[in-house]
Amino acid sequence: MSKASRKVLLGFVDEHIKSESCSDDAYTVNKIGGLSNTLNQNFSPKCPLCNRQTPLLIQIYAPVTNSIYHRTLYIHACVSPGCWNKSQSWICLRRQWVAVDDYDNKQQPTTFIEWCDDADDWGEEPVAVAEENGNITVPSQAIEICDTASAELENSDADDNVVAEPIEIPNTNFFQLLDSRKEIPSDHYNMTIYFEPYYISVAYEESSDTVKEHANNLLHSYQNNQMILEEKNEGYEKSLPAHGDKLFETFASIIRKNPGQILRYCRTGGKPLFLYEESEPNECTNCKGKLLFELQILPSLITYLKLICGDDHLGSGHLEFGTALIYTCENNCWNEGDTYKYECVIVQEEKLF
């Protein structure tokens, strides 16, 4: 297996899709939301838990090397709050189309080339907000206002007899405020439900041998120090992160290296980033063959998910999850006459430690 084949591809939110294409090659578009770009534009599978339609979350064009098929993954998720963070309420459909009749003459590009044809073409220069990881710096007038107010109070001829009125404490349910779940009216499920569509741009995950070598040196140094400390103190226990979970710490530290990523893709030799320990699926439900980890959807996607029901723009707050892991058949099992194949989705909930 070549070194390049193990590279992780990162997906980032790009431009808003103002008008969705109905062309014959629309299934090759990588995007968030919108409608499934297939022969059945309005196809929306039902949630196995609540039997309501599930809007398209992500569409990924992911052809496989030396295959005669075009290959696209359609990932749907139920927006009913009762189904959030449950693997059964997510659906991944793999669809394939014959690309050429003569397999011997076909030169099918790899998934990595397909994804990264325009990886370096980012269009306009990024604004300063992107370099600040999305944190907009606005000149604050708070200090000036407070200074003025303080000066007026000090110089005022206020009455010495000041009567302080009792403060009325608001009756607020703070737990309810923290709960951002939004229920969709039942009659809206009879409409076409979809998330506002955006293109997905792709780039390779930044990684260099120099960084790896430096990290290994730090690791060896740390391990040596740990051994010395353990010899001095038999009761020593290796420290955990503040929240007590090493997997979560690894997840967060890797994501921080490339801010803004919404998904991670690596079908060949890729490894998922778990929030907590969980057994990985290993058998295709269709052909009983081996499953491969293919891509991971990150919670940073949530802020971009704005739901539309018919002509009603319902905004954000209609889906929550910690991370979603997609496993697909290693053999890409497919029979003549097949419309789609169900693939495996594992959803992990973000937990408070």
**In 3-state terms, what secondary structure has residue 27?**
helix
Residue 138 C-beta-side C-alpha neighbours within 13 Å: 5
First to last CA, the chain: 39
Element (H, E) at 89: none
What's the rounded Cα separation, in Å, for the pair 140 and 321? 34
Instruction: Tell me the backbone φ, ψ of residue 130, rounded to 5 degrees.
Output: -65, -35
Asked if 188 and 313 touch (Cβ cutoff 8 Å), the reply is no
DSSP characters over 97-115: EE--S-GGG--PPPHHHHH
What pLDDT, in 10s, does the model give residues 211-268? 455 555 666 665 666 565 555 444 434 444 544 478 888 998 999 999 999 999 999 8
Q: What is the mean pLDDT of the chain?
A: 75
What pLDDT, in 10s, does the model give residues 53-79? 999 999 999 999 888 899 999 999 999
